[in-house]
């Protein structure tokens, strides 16, 4: 029989590279030898990762290989799971979970621990349960069954024998077996005299049950299989058929494009907002609930969307902490480049950031286990599994090719990765976010997002990346879907304007500056008011505003609008605030009104001279208060000229997100695999004695596991306060960070903590390992070997 190590070695360079590509945790850091690789592949952590990513069918196949009594042939597995299992076994082999030689299929070392203690709900094999009986008991049992003691195991695994025995069983025996057949295979031993006691006693006598421990009985694996008709699963694994609602791809793309544009616009507004007034960072890190509410109000979105936008902007490095003494979030220099890009590229950047962000925006605003609010942009809330979740959800949606609801998508994911299926809530959250961002439209995956996903090297612990073609392709696809920008506005006599389509960037900038947006959607409607113009008049003169409007208007600028702009300009600056001495001057009547206004009393205004007021308040605060009271005040300089203020734009220097080349990663894996094969001299090379160095603890564990399986003895070196001790023991069980061993010389069972094991070496072979424990700290408990 070959070993797992030999199997791996036989894979060759391409085979190993393929394995390492699937299980990247095995490649980093590069393993020293194929043996080290095999040992690493058998560790709990690595197997857990691998099992987390295989589908239900493959898992059923692996489970059957672990559970069925050897030798296991592919046909046995197919029979056991109730479906054709060859493809699943192939996948399991690709993942290094099972391997095959002339003796049949074998599970990778360590798997039985992981799938145990009752893989497929099966108890211990008959070989084990019968071995616990004395010779006399076996003879009695053989007489009961009607065979020799050596034939017992074979007979009890036979359906006909079991059914034959059961035909004479006392009442209740069948019910006991029915309860245990599909697992768990362990039941409590009834007290003598209770109704079940007779039935259980009979079952124990006939060998159909075995004693587990003084309180429990256990159903041997072969008996259970005989009762199950050889099945390891009650139902054959069947992939779910989700309800897919087909949606016309134009509808999907149009819908997605609409939302994509909206997202880009909102992120732009967020940058604008924080550029003017950065948002304070909480002392505990992240963005406070009040700041988030401010964003939501300014962007006119709900809090959930605001959190998503903020997180996406953060992930895309468009906003960051400025690192000041009292830090705030503000736009980065990356944001300036981003803003200069076209809408499609801006969107791709955002979605790229969202897909790869190890963050869960939908949890913002909820409370963690400690009861404190989870804030947005809090670096403490890193969640490495989220990109994988997004890839899984969107991948399933892409495969479905239509709209699928969260519940159905959840069953698909539960099939695809049964050991790491996300909650339905998380699936819904990803779908909701995808909808907001325009990754999906009408519930189905949009064309541009599909292109981007196709070029995404899926996240698996290493840096996730997108191919440049995917990035460009997605942007091009979105550009094609977007309606052509409209550069024309229809101005109405009722002081409204309508852009019949998506406004061009220039037109949108103009209209949002001088007017109030009334509605958005396929088009844009705005209303001009004196208030909306007041802000704009700080930046442009009335003729400039009118010229700009005229250059975009279909037809003439209506007279009422022209009058409004001119009149607003006339009133603009009617009351002026000085910066030097904090005075107010202007029209005496207007000033008299101001002085009379009770709401402004706090400013301490008083008449200095006819037409001039003075105030102890800082000019800026004064100006703000006057405007808040609805007065058309403006600041002026010493010469009496109205100041034209420009908005401040805060920035943090930052570099854009890199686009790593996945080809580089693949070449690296090939090199690692090449080194491995070259190092070991190929499949035929003799086992290499352990290098004098620091092999991994996992290798020692592999030696111990192999010894458990084979029932052989090892030399075990254990670090203890007095130095390393060495004993010859038979390992019984490796589990949960502990190893149970039998010291036959002292006839004692001992438990050793794995972190104390310094080395393990098979007694009959040279291939042992030593673990370097020099780095471990002093042992504190003083007792390395624990009597069991």
Partner 1 sequence: MDGPLIVQSDKTLLLEIDHPAAEEARRAIAPFAELERAPEHVHTYRLTPLGLWNASAAGHDAEQVVAALLDHSRYPVPHALLVDVAETMSRYGRLQLVDHPTHGLVLHALDRAVLEEVLRSKRTAGMLGTRIDADDVVVHPSERGRLKQALVKLGWPAEDLAGYVDGEAHAIDLVTEGWGLRPYQQQAADGFWHGGSGVVVLPCGAGKTIVGAAAMARARSTTLILVTNTVAARQWRDELLRRTTLTEEEIGEYSGARKEIRPVTIATYQVLTTKRKGVYPHLELLDARDWGLIVYDEVHLLPAPIFRMTADLQARRRLGLTATLVREDGREDEVFSLIGPKRYDAPWKDIEAQGYIAPAVCTEVRLSLPDAQRMVYATAEAEDRYRLAASAEGKNTVVEQLVARHAEDQLLVIGQYLDQLELLADHLDAPLITGQTTVKERQRLFDAFRAGEIRRLVVSKVANFSVDLPEAAVAIQVSGSFGSRQEEAQRLGRIMRPKADGRTAHFYAVVTRDTVDQEMAAHRQRFLAEQGYAYRIVDAHDLDAPPR
Residue ranges in contact with partner 1 by CB under 8 A? 247, 250-251, 254-255, 258, 441-443, 483, 490-496, 498, 500-501, 519-523, 525, 554, 558-560, 563, 567, 571, 588-590, 592-593, 596
- Closest by CA to 170, choosing from 123, 208, 142, 132, is 208
Is the CB of 33 or the CB of 525 nearer to partner 1? Answer: 525
Q: Which is nearer to partner 1, 12 or 485 (CB)?
A: 485
Cα separation, 115 vs 121, in Å, equals 10
| Minimum CB–partner distance for residue 520 and partner 1 (Å) | 6
| Cβ 441 to partner 1 shortest distance, Å | 7
The three-class DSSP label of residue 75 is helix
The SS3 assignment for 315 reads helix
Q: Tell me how far, at minimum, the Cβ of 372 lies from partner 1, in Å.
A: 35
CA distances from 359 to 322, 378, 436 (A): 21, 9, 16
Task: Tell how far CA 323 is from the center of its chain.
Answer: 29
CA 332 to chain centre: 26
For residues 296 and 491, which CB has a smaller minimum distance to partner 1 in the complex? 491
Q: Identify the bridge partners of residue 735 per DSSP, sorted by sequence position.
A: 738
Question: Is the CB of 131 or the CB of 609 nearer to partner 1?
Answer: 609
Query: Which residue, 60 or 482, has its beta carbon nearer to partner 1?
Result: 482
Q: 395 in helix, strand or coil? A: helix
Q: How far is the CB of 590 from partner 1 (least distance, A)?
A: 7
Q: How far apart, in Å, are the Cα atoms of 504 and each of 482, 487, 608, 660? A: 12, 5, 50, 33
Token match 């019910």: residue? Answer: 175
**Closer residue to partner 1 in complex, CB, 26/260:** 260
Which lies closer to partner 1 via its Cβ, residue 254 or residue 742? Answer: 254
Taking the complex as a whole, the smallest distance from the CB of residue 505 to partner 1 amounts, in Å, to 18
For partner 1, the closer of residues 12 and 492 by Cβ is 492
User: Which of 566, 751 has the CB closer to partner 1?
Assistant: 566
**What is the Cα–Cα distance from 651 to 634, expressed in whole angstroms?**
27
H or E element at residue 262? helix 249-276
Find the shortest distance in angstroms from Cβ 587 to partner 1. 8
Q: How far apart are CA 43 and CA 50, in angstroms?
A: 11
The total of other beta-carbon atoms located within 10 Å of residue 480's CB is: 12
Q: What is the SS3 assignment for 11? A: coil
Pick 170 or 483: Cβ nearer partner 1 = 483
**Smaller CB distance to partner 1: residue 361 or 558?**
558
CA separation for the pair 100, 205 (Å, rounded): 38
What are the helix (H) ranges across 631-696? 662-680
What is the spatial distance between Cα 11 and Cα 22, in angstroms, rounded to a whole number? 14
Task: Tell the smallest beta-carbon distance from residue 433 to partner 1 (Å).
Answer: 16
Of the pair 302, 567, the CB lying nearest partner 1 is at: 567
CA 144-147-151 angle, to 5 degrees, is 120
Residues 713/730, Cβ–Cβ less than 8 Å? yes
Does residue 129 contact residue 220 with C-beta atoms inside 8 Å? yes
CA 760-766-771 angle, to 5 degrees, is 30
Closer Cβ to partner 1, 79 or 571, answer by number: 571
Residue 515 Cβ, how far from partner 1 at the closest point, in Å? 15
Query: Which residues, 6+ apart, have CB-to-CB distance to 23 below 8 Å?
Result: 41, 46, 49, 50, 95, 96
User: Between 179 and 592, whose beta carbon lies closer to partner 1?
Assistant: 592
Q: How far is the CB of 310 from partner 1 (least distance, A)?
A: 21
Q: How far is the CB of 623 from partner 1 (least distance, A)?
A: 20
Closest approach of Cβ 407 to partner 1, in Å?
A: 18
Closer CB to partner 1, 226 or 301, in the complex: 301
Q: Residue 18 and residue 747: Cα distance in Å, rounded?
A: 47
Nearer to partner 1 by Cβ, of 180 and 561: the residue is 561
Task: Tell the smallest beta-carbon distance from residue 568 to partner 1 (Å).
Answer: 12
Minimal distance in Å, beta carbon 507 to partner 1? Answer: 15
CA distance 81 to 224: 14
Q: How far is the CB of 443 from partner 1 (least distance, A)?
A: 8
For the chain, first and last CA: distance in Å? Answer: 34
Q: How many CA atoms lie within 13 A of 744 on its CB side?
A: 10
Q: Contact, 431 vs 398, CB < 8 A?
A: no
Evaluated on CA atoms 136, 137, 140, 143, the torsion sign reads negative
**How far apart are the C-alpha atoms of 257 and 476, rounded to whole Å?**
12
CB of 336 vs partner 1, minimal distance in Å = 29
Cα(29)–Cα(230) distance, integer angstroms: 42
Residues in the chain, how many?
788
In the numeric block, the tokens 């009979």 are attached to: 202
List the beta strands (DSSP E) in 565-626: 575-578, 583-586, 606-609, 612-614
Q: How far is the CB of 527 from partner 1 (least distance, A)?
A: 10
Residues of 583-613 as b/e, b for ≥16 C-beta within 10 angstroms?
Answer: bbbbeeebbeebeeeeebeebebeeeeeeeb
Identify which of residues 83 and 557 has a Cβ nearer to partner 1 in the complex. Answer: 557
Minimum CB distance to partner 1 smaller for 488 or for 735: 488
Q: How far is the CB of 548 from partner 1 (least distance, A)?
A: 19
Residue 253 CB, shortest distance to partner 1, in Å, is 8
User: Taken in order 775, 779, 780, 781, is the CA torsion positive or negative?
Assistant: positive
Give the whole-angstrom CA distance, residue 578 versus residue 433: 49
Residue 785 bridge partners (DSSP)? 752
Q: At which residue do the structure tokens 């149970």 appear?
A: 740
Using alpha carbons only, give the angle 262, 265, 267 rounded to the nearest 5 degrees.
110
């Amino acid at each position: 029989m070959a070993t797992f190590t030999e199997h791996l070695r036989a894979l060759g360079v391409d085979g190993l590279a393929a394995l390492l590509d699937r299980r990247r945790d095995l490649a980093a850091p590069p393993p020293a030898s194929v043996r080290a690789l095999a040992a690493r592949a058998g560790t709990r952590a690595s197997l857990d990762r691998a099992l987390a990513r295989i589908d239900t069918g493959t898992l059923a196949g692996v489970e059957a290989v672990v559970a069925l009594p050897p030798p296991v042939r592919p046909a046995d597995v197919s029979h056991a799971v109730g479906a054709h299992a060859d493809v699943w076994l192939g996948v399991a082999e690709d993942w290094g979970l099972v391997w095959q030689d002339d003796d049949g299929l074998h599970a990778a070392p360590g798997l039985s621990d992981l799938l145990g203690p009752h893989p497929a709900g099966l108890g211990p094999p008959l070989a084990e349960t019968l071995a616990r009986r004395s010779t006399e008991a076996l003879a009695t049992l053989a007489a009961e069954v009607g065979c020799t003691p050596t034939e017992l195991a074979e007979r009890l695994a036979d359906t006909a024998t079991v059914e034959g025995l059961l035909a004479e069983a006392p009442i209740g025996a069948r019910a006991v077996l029915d309860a245990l057949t599909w697992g768990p295979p362990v039941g409590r031993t009834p007290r003598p005299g209770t109704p079940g006691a007779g039935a259980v006693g009979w079952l124990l006598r006939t060998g159909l049950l075995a004693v587990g421990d003084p309180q429990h009985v256990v159903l041997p694996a072969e008996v259970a299989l005989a009762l199950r008709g050889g099945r390891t699963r009650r139902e054959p694994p069947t992939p779910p058929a989700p309800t897919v609602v087909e949606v016309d791809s134009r509808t999907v793309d149009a819908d997605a494009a609409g939302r994509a544009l909206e997202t880009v616009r909102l992120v732009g507004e967020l940058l604008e907002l924080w550029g003017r007034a950065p948002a304070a960072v909480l002392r505990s890190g992240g963005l406070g609930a009040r700041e988030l509410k401010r964003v939501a109000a300014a962007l006119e979105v709900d809090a959930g969307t605001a959190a998503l936008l903020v997180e996406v902007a953060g992930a895309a490095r468009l906003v960051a902490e400025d690192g000041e003494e009292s830090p705030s979030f503000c736009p980065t220099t990356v944001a300036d480049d981003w803003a200069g890009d076209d809408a499609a590229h801006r969107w791709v950047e955002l979605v790229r950031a969202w897909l790869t962000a190890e963050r869960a925006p939908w949890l913002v605003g909820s409370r963690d286990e400690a009861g404190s609010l989870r804030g947005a942009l809090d670096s403490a809330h890193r969640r490495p599994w989220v990109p994988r979740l997004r890839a899984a959800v969107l991948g399933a949606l892409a495969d479905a090719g239509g709209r699928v609801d969260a519940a159905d998508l959840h069953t698909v994911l539960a099939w695809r990765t049964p050991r790491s299926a996300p909650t339905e809530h998380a699936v819904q959250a990803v779908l909701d976010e995808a909808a907001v961002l325009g990754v999906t439209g009408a519930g189905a995956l949009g064309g541009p997002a599909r292109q981007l996903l196709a070029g995404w090297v899926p996240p698996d612990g290493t840096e996730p990346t997108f191919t440049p073609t995917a990035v460009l392709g997605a942007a091009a696809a979105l550009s094609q879907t977007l309606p052509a920008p409209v550069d024309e506005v229809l101005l109405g006599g009722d002081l409204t304007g309508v852009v019949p389509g998506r406004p061009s960037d220039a037109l949108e900038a103009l209209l949002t500056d001088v007017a109030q947006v009334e509605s958005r959607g396929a088009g844009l409607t705005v209303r001009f008011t004196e208030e909306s113009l007041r802000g704009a008049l700080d930046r442009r003169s009335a003729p400039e505003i009118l010229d700009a409007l005229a250059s975009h208007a279909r037809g003439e600028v209506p007279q009422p609008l022209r009058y409004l702009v001119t009149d607003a300009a006339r009133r603009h600056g009617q009351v002026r605030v000085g910066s030097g001495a904090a005075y107010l001057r202007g029209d005496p009547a207007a000033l008299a009104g101001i002085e009379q206004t009770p709401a402004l009393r706090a400013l301490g205004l008083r008449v200095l001279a006819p037409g001039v007021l003075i105030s102890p308040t800082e000019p800026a605060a004064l100006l703000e208060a006057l405007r808040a009271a609805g007065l058309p005040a403006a600041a002026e300089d010493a010469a009496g000229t109205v100041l034209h203020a420009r908005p401040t734009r805060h920035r943090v220097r930052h570099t854009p997100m890199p686009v790593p080349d996945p080809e580089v990663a693949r070449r690296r894996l090939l090199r690692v695999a090449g080194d491995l094969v070259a190092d070991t001299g190929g499949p035929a090379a003799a086992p290499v004695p352990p290098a004098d160095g620091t092999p991994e603890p996992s290798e020692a564990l592999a030696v111990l596991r192999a010894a458990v399986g084979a029932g052989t003895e090892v030399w075990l070196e254990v670090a203890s306060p007095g130095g390393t001790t060495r004993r010859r023991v038979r390992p019984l069980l490796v589990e949960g960070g502990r190893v149970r061993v039998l010291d036959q010389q002292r006839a004692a069972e001992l438990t050793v903590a794995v972190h104390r094991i310094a080395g393990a070496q098979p007694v009959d072979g040279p291939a042992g390992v030593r673990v370097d424990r020099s780095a471990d700290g002093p042992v504190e408990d003083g007792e390395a070997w624990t009597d069991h």
